[in-house]
Amino acid sequence: MTTGKNNYDVHLTRRKDKKLKKLLDHHDYLNRKTKELDEERGKGDRTSESKVLLKKLKITKLAMKDEIARVTEELEKLTTQK
For the segment 33-65, what is each residue's pLDDT rounded down to a tens digit? 999 999 999 998 889 999 999 999 999 999 999
Which residues constitute the domain of residue 36? 4-80
Instruction: Provide the residue count of the chain.
Output: 82
Q: In sequence order, which ranges of 1-82 are alpha helices (DSSP H)?
A: 4-42, 48-80
What percent of the chain shows pLDDT beyond 70? 83
Q: In angstroms, rounded to a whole number, what is the distance separating the alpha carbons of residues 34 and 55? A: 9
Q: In angstroms, rounded to a whole number, what is the distance separating the alpha carbons of residues 37 and 43? A: 10
- Domains of the chain: total: 1
Q: What is the mean pLDDT of the chain?
A: 86
pLDDT at residue 2 above 80? no
